[in-house]
Amino acid sequence: MKKKRVSLKDIADKVGVSTALVSYVLNGQEKEKRVGAEVVIRIRKALEEMNYKPNFIARSLRYGTTKTIGLIVTDIANPFFSSMARHIEDEAYKSGYTVIIGSSDENCDKSDLLVETLLNRQVDGFIIVPAEGCEDCLSHLIEDKMPVVMVDRYVPGLVSNHVVLDNYTASYNATLHLLNKGYKNIGLVAYKSNLIHMRERVRGYEEAMMFKGLEKQTWIKYIRYNKLKTDMNKAIEVIGSKEGNNIDAVIFTTNTLSLAGLYEIHGLGIKVPEELAIIGFDGNEAFDFFYSPLTYVKQPVDEMGKEAVRILLDQMNGSKKISHVNLTSQLVIRDSC
């Protein structure tokens, strides 16, 4: 079967000393532990020759930490999350941490199961994109003093760390941009969800409309996460029809909504921006190929990932400080509005 890896014991036997000495040398403690100079050399040589590599599992058991971070996103296949994951991995690797990823599909049960699985695997901390209804599971985690950083959204009332976009301002500014361009009947397409990031994006829109005295003109369509296509189809059809209240601009509050929305708009042959102006959240390089490249709210996904890791590392090192990071977005203006 598999060739056995060399263990500390193998080295110790070869050199003719106990494992303790080898361990000391390995961890650079040969000075404090007063290992004989000549023995140090022989041990070093043996380690080299036998190509010794420490067994992380044994170390983990001994130390009670695994140098592993659990990352739970809604879907790793979603470009927004996969690029965030990439940044998280890079940052974590720098500090010797490894990342285990799971996808919850916005499903609380799946998320809880993932947390459970990762806990059993003794991860040292979590970076979580919380799904709806996960409050309990998360609060238990935090009560048990497990380091947790929430990203993209957070659970209001839960005293814990998070790194999110300033969604309110992002949405407010996007709406304002449309208003300043002269659009009045601005609609918003959001996921049907109580999650804070959605609510904030809705609120930013509403308050911008209110600010201009257009609260009567607000038009919000809520899409069910698992009925994306059908719900979006209906939504866009309404916009294209007479009942659409002459909607002349629409904001999509996530990249998946933008994608699904553009499909329908494309399908109905609605002209952008002449008949309908558009702003999306989270760019997608390919949206530039839409006949009218998309104006979108650009999230600093790299910072979000890296900052989350930094805070998590800090927590794992014993910091008791609670961090709430609100990142600012950038409105990338293209042709669609």
Partner DNA sequence: TTTGCGCATTAAAACGATTAAGCATATATT
Partner DNA sequence: AATATATGCTTAATCGTTTTAATGCGCAAA
Q: Out of a copy of itself, DNA, none, which partner does residue 246 contact, by CB within 5 to 8 A per kind? A: none
Q: Which is nearer to a copy of itself, 166 or 302 (CB)?
A: 302
Rounded-to-integer distance, Cα 39 and Cα 43, Å: 6
Q: Which residue is it, tokens 């998309």?
A: 294
Among 41, 45, 63, 95, binds DNA (CB under 7 A): 63
Q: Which is nearer to DNA, 27 or 226 (CB)?
A: 27
User: How far is residue 89 from each of residues 66, 71, 160, 202, measured CA to CA in Å?
Assistant: 15, 10, 22, 31
Residue 100 interacts with a copy of itself (CB under 8 A): yes or no = yes
Residue 18 interacts with DNA (CB under 7 A): yes or no = yes
Residue 35 interacts with DNA (CB under 7 A): yes or no = yes
Rounded-to-integer distance, Cα 258 and Cα 251, Å: 8
Examine residue 273 and say whether the peptide bond preceding it is cis (omega within 30 degrees of 0): yes
In DSSP notation, 289-301 reads GSSSPPEEEE--H
Q: Which residue is it, tokens 């998946």?
A: 256
Here's the x/- map for a copy of itself, 53-92, by CB under 8 A: it reads as xxxxxx-xx----x--------xxxxx--xx-xx--xx--
Rounded least distance, CB 115 to DNA, Å: 17
Site for a copy of itself in 130-189 (CB under 8 A): 144-146
Rounded-to-integer distance, Cα 224 and Cα 226, Å: 6
Residue 321 interacts with a copy of itself (CB under 8 A): yes or no = no
Phi, psi (deg, nearest 5) at residue 52: -70, 135
Residue 64 interacts with DNA (CB under 7 A): yes or no = yes
Residue 4 interacts with DNA (CB under 7 A): yes or no = yes
**How large is the C-alpha radius of gyration of the chain?**
26
Residue 9 interacts with DNA (CB under 7 A): yes or no = yes
Q: Which residue is it, tokens 């959605």?
A: 198
Q: Out of a copy of itself, DNA, none, which partner does residue 144 contact, by CB within 5 to 8 A per kind? A: a copy of itself
Residue 36 interacts with DNA (CB under 7 A): yes or no = yes
User: How far is residue 275 from each of residues 41, 240, 283, measured CA to CA in Å?
Assistant: 78, 9, 22
Where on the chain is the footprint of a copy of itself (CB under 8 A)?
A: 1-3, 53-58, 60-61, 66, 75-79, 82-83, 85-86, 89-90, 93, 98-103, 116-122, 144-146, 259, 262-263, 266, 284-291, 318
